[in-house]
């Protein structure tokens, strides 16, 4: 009762200050800890706008979505609610698609006695192959389960179905029979085709990942070249012309090498204290010119929980980063808007470290058989995930927080720019109006990477022209 009264009081303050109380605000107010936090802040004089849109280091960089729920005990029901939330979110993206005529529920299809055309939206509960090598799916919605047969005769559909993974949400259009659907069309949530949004003037964003400060294999010389380039003292005249218009540097996780990430990790460390690693990271990045905004998110080597979404780095370990005047710290993943102006709405950036990428580079046939080396598949995986509108659809591909209210890894908003890393090799693709960019690394090949066949290319920094959306690989 007390929390309900506080919630009403908070909403009243928002309305009196002409602040729209949208679904995101109400969702956050469903958390008792947020209600207490906001109520305490408002009663001590904090302006309500600062709660829902905190002050940014740079007015042209706005965090439009990040995860900030406090840790709590989870139950089996949370996992059930989490997958139900995913189903609802992607069902909304698929609902109304022209390809899904006669959309109905699975329970209604199972009541039908005669063959007829029908469409369903379901989550893949199982996937197998019949003795005739047809693909058999088990799709589930909130009303039940049903088998879906995809035959080899429809070659295009069959190849498309081979790439399906467990737990993704798809649409199927086909012909019903007793307790089965013979699929004719497979519909992915996918991102729509759109004209790439372009900044009105020439400006650039650099994409880094996997700096791994603290590693004995850290590429000091190459990183020093990068810093000199940022300060205008390294590179060709053309490269210096680019850096003169560089506005943003994104670091997509694994800022430091961490401690105890894998067995005998300490033998590959030059700095064995996690706080000292972040102190050294801050020292290095303090040399970045202050007119360039740094956007930093954690990765699987950084301090804190590995489960996604990862909160922004804690001051307990990474306090020196908060002292960098041009740095914005975010969670992983997060959505940002950059470079907005009076006549330009800005570019929407999806920033994700990419811990799930390893799974999809191996388990998706079209990616595995693409002819690209495993270290060259990051951009292909990113395209695959955009098509699924989810950063880690398959249950085992990453560790995650089973949020009962929502699936934070669903890609609800279509990004203009999708930045990531993790694979230690740079790559880029243009897909349906979204510019996909995977950052490289500043760490030489480790024994673990050698064991799994990774071939990192260090010191390569993709630089995006925000006006043309072209991507240039800067090699340091």
Is the separation of the CB atoms in 170 and 186 below 8 Å? yes
Edge-first strand order for the sheet with 334-338 is 61-65, 334-338, 347-351, 417-420, 434-438, 427-431
Burial string for 72-91 (b: 16+ CB within 10 Å, else e) reads eeeeeeeeebbbebbbebbb
The reply to whether 282 and 218 lie within a common domain is: yes
113 or 406: whose pLDDT is higher?
406
Would you say residue 125 lies in a domain? yes
Residue 71 has pLDDT above 60, yes or no: yes
CATH number of the domain bearing residue 435: 3.60.21.50
Query: Domains in the chain: how many in total?
Result: 3
Would you say residue 104 lies in a domain? yes
The reply to whether 156 and 126 lie within a common domain is: yes
The reply to whether 442 and 303 lie within a common domain is: yes
The reply to whether 310 and 415 lie within a common domain is: yes
Residue 189 has pLDDT above 60, yes or no: yes
Is the separation of the CB atoms in 360 and 384 below 8 Å? yes
What pLDDT is stored for residue 20 in this prediction? 63
- What is the average pLDDT across 136-163? 95
Would you say residue 175 lies in a domain? yes
The reply to whether 301 and 386 lie within a common domain is: yes
Domain termination residue (choose one: 153, 187, 221): 187
The reply to whether 209 and 353 lie within a common domain is: yes
CATH number of the domain bearing residue 146: 2.40.50.140
- Rounded to a whole number, what is the distance in angstroms from the first to the last CA of the chain? 60
Give the predicted TM-score (pTM) of the model.
0.87
Residue 286 has pLDDT above 70, yes or no: yes
pLDDT > 70: percent of the chain:
92
Closest C-alpha among 336, 285, 288, 292 to residue 203 = 292
Q: Which residues contact 41 (CB under 8 A, 6 or more apart)?
A: 51
What pLDDT is stored for residue 317 in this prediction? 95
pLDDT > 90: percent of the chain:
76
pLDDT band at 263 (very low <50, low <70, confident <90, very high): confident
Distance from C-alpha of 180 to C-alpha of 92, rounded to nearest angstrom: 24
Residue 316 has pLDDT above 70, yes or no: yes
Residue 50 has pLDDT above 70, yes or no: no
Residue 38 has pLDDT above 90, yes or no: no
452 or 93: whose pLDDT is higher?
93
pLDDT band at 57 (very low <50, low <70, confident <90, very high): very low
Would you say residue 62 lies in a domain? no
Would you say residue 80 lies in a domain? no
Phi and psi torsions of 177, nearest 5°: -145, -165
Residue 56 has pLDDT above 50, yes or no: no
Would you say residue 81 lies in a domain? no
The reply to whether 224 and 148 lie within a common domain is: no
The reply to whether 324 and 460 lie within a common domain is: yes
What pLDDT is stored for residue 29 in this prediction? 75
Domain termination residue (choose one: 129, 160, 187): 187
The reply to whether 213 and 169 lie within a common domain is: no
The reply to whether 100 and 43 lie within a common domain is: no
pLDDT in tens, 318-361: 999 999 999 999 999 999 999 999 889 999 999 999 999 999 99
pLDDT band at 172 (very low <50, low <70, confident <90, very high): very high
- What is the average pLDDT across 440-461? 90
Residue 83 has pLDDT above 70, yes or no: yes
Residue-number span of the structural domain to which 128 is assigned? 95-187
Would you say residue 46 lies in a domain? yes
Q: Which helix (H) or strand (E) holds 48?
A: helix 48-52
pLDDT band at 55 (very low <50, low <70, confident <90, very high): very low
Would you say residue 61 lies in a domain? no
Domain termination residue (choose one: 187, 218, 241): 187
Q: Which residues contact 130 (CB under 8 A, 6 or more apart)?
A: 136, 149
Q: List the beta strands (DSSP E) in 72-168.
A: 117-129, 135-141, 144-150
The reply to whether 271 and 373 lie within a common domain is: yes
What pLDDT is stored for residue 59 in this prediction? 58
The reply to whether 247 and 278 lie within a common domain is: yes
454 or 355: whose pLDDT is higher?
355
Residue 227 has pLDDT above 70, yes or no: yes
pLDDT band at 96 (very low <50, low <70, confident <90, very high): confident
Residue 24 has pLDDT above 70, yes or no: no
What pLDDT is stored for residue 10 in this prediction? 78
Q: In this structure, what token pair is assigned to residue 271?
A: 């700095």
Residue 53 has pLDDT above 60, yes or no: no
How confident is the prediction for the chain on average, in pLDDT?
Answer: 91
């Amino acid at each position: 009762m007390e929390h309900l009264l506080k919630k009403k009081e908070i909403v009243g303050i928002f309305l009196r200050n002409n602040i729209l109380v949208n679904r995101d605000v109400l969702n956050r107010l469903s958390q008792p800890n947020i209600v207490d936090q906001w109520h305490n802040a408002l009663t001590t004089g904090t302006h309500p706008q600062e709660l829902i849109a905190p002050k940014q280091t740079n007015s042209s960089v706005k965090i439009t979505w990040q995860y900030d729920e406090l840790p709590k005990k989870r139950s089996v029901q949370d996992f059930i609610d989490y997958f139900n939330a995913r189903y609802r979110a992607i069902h909304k993206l698929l609902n109304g698609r022209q390809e899904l005529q006669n959309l109905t529920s699975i329970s209604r299809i199972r009541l039908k006695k005669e063959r007829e055309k029908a469409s369903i939206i379901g989550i893949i509960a199982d996937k197998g192959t019949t003795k005739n090598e047809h693909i058999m799916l088990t799709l589930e919605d909130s009303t039940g389960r049903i088998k879906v047969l995809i035959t080899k005769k429809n070659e295009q559909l069959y190849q498309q179905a081979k790439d399906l993974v467990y737990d993704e949400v798809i649409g199927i259009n086909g012909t019903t029979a007793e307790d089965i659907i013979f699929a004719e069309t497979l519909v992915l949530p996918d991102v729509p085709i759109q004209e790439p949004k372009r900044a009105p003037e020439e400006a650039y964003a650099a994409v880094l990942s996997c700096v791994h400060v603290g590693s004995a294999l850290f590429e000091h010389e190459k990183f020093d070249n990068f810093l000199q380039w940022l300060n205008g003292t390294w590179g060709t005249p053309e490269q210096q012309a680019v850096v003169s218009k560089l506005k943003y540097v994104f670091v997509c996780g694994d800022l430091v090498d961490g401690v105890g990430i894998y067995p005998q990790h300490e033998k590959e460390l030059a700095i064995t204290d996690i706080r000292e690693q972040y102190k050294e990271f801050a020292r290095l990045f303090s040399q970045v010119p202050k007119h360039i905004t740094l956007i930093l998110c954690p990765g699987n080597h950084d301090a804190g929980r590995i489960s996604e979404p990862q909160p922004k780095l804690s001051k307990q370990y990474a306090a020196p980063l908060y002292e960098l005047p041009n740095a914005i710290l975010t969670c992983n993943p997060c959505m940002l808007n950059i470079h907005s102006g009076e006549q330009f709405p800005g570019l929407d950036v999806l920033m994700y470290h990419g811990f799930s990428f390893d799974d999809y580079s191996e388990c998706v046939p079209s990616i595995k058989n693409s002819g690209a080396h495993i270290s060259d598949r990051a951009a292909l995986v990113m395209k695959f995930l955009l098509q699924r509108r989810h950063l880690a659809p398959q249950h085992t591909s990453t560790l995650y927080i089973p949020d009962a209210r929502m699936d934070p890894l669903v890609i609800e908003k279509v990004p203009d720019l999708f930045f990531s890393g993790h694979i230690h090799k740079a790559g880029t693709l243009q897909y349906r109006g979204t510019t996909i960019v995977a950052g490289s690394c500043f760490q030489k090949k480790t024994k673990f990477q050698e064991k799994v066949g990774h071939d990192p290319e260090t010191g390569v920094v993709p630089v995006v022209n925000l006006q043309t959306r072209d991507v240039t690989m800067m090699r340091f």
